[in-house]
Amino acid sequence: MAPDLLSRLRARNWRLSSQRRVVAEVFVGDHVHLTAEEVHQRARTSLPEISRATVYNTLNELVAMGELLELDVIDGPKRYDPNVGDDHDHLVCDSCQAIRDVPRSRKPSIPEGTRAGYVVTGVEITYRGLCPKCAERRSRNR
């Protein structure tokens, strides 16, 4: 299991102010894919005075450091993923928009002749479908 965000930041000797620590602590658990607003709401339970601007600045800094992935896999605000250590893809529910990490089964590749001169710097694969709750709800409504 990869170290959690807070542990990784401590290992980097990143200055952990109370605001930064609270933002990092929000990203605990499996399959955490939060919007900036959700991060702000959760952070306020521990530190009521934390500002929205501080949360956004901290998220932007963590993305720039490579400690968070910024996801744009659903309509609406971007989501943030602390799982940067393991190659993985995402599974998105088309109904409730829940996002789950799924292990990558093989390394994706593009045949050499189809790259048109591009230098590939990353791959993002998103699987779409219905989560078990939404699939059950849909089958009951039929």
> What percent of the chain is helix, strand and coil (3-state, nearest 5)?
35, 15, 45
pLDDT at 124: 86
- Which residues make Cβ contacts (< 8 Å) with residue 48, sequence separation at least 6? none
Instruction: Name the CATH topology of 5-81.
Output: Arc Repressor Mutant, subunit A (1.10.10)
Q: What is the pTM of this model?
A: 0.84
- What distance separates the 2 farthest-apart alpha carbons in the chain? 55
pLDDT at 2: 60
The per-residue pLDDT of the chain, averaged, comes to 90
Instruction: Give residue limits of the domains in the chain.
Output: 5-81, 88-140
pLDDT at 106: 81
Predicted confidence band of residue 33 (pLDDT cuts 50, 70, 90):
very high
Tokens of 117: 């001169």
- CATH class, domain 88-140, is alpha beta
More confidently predicted of 125 and 1: 125
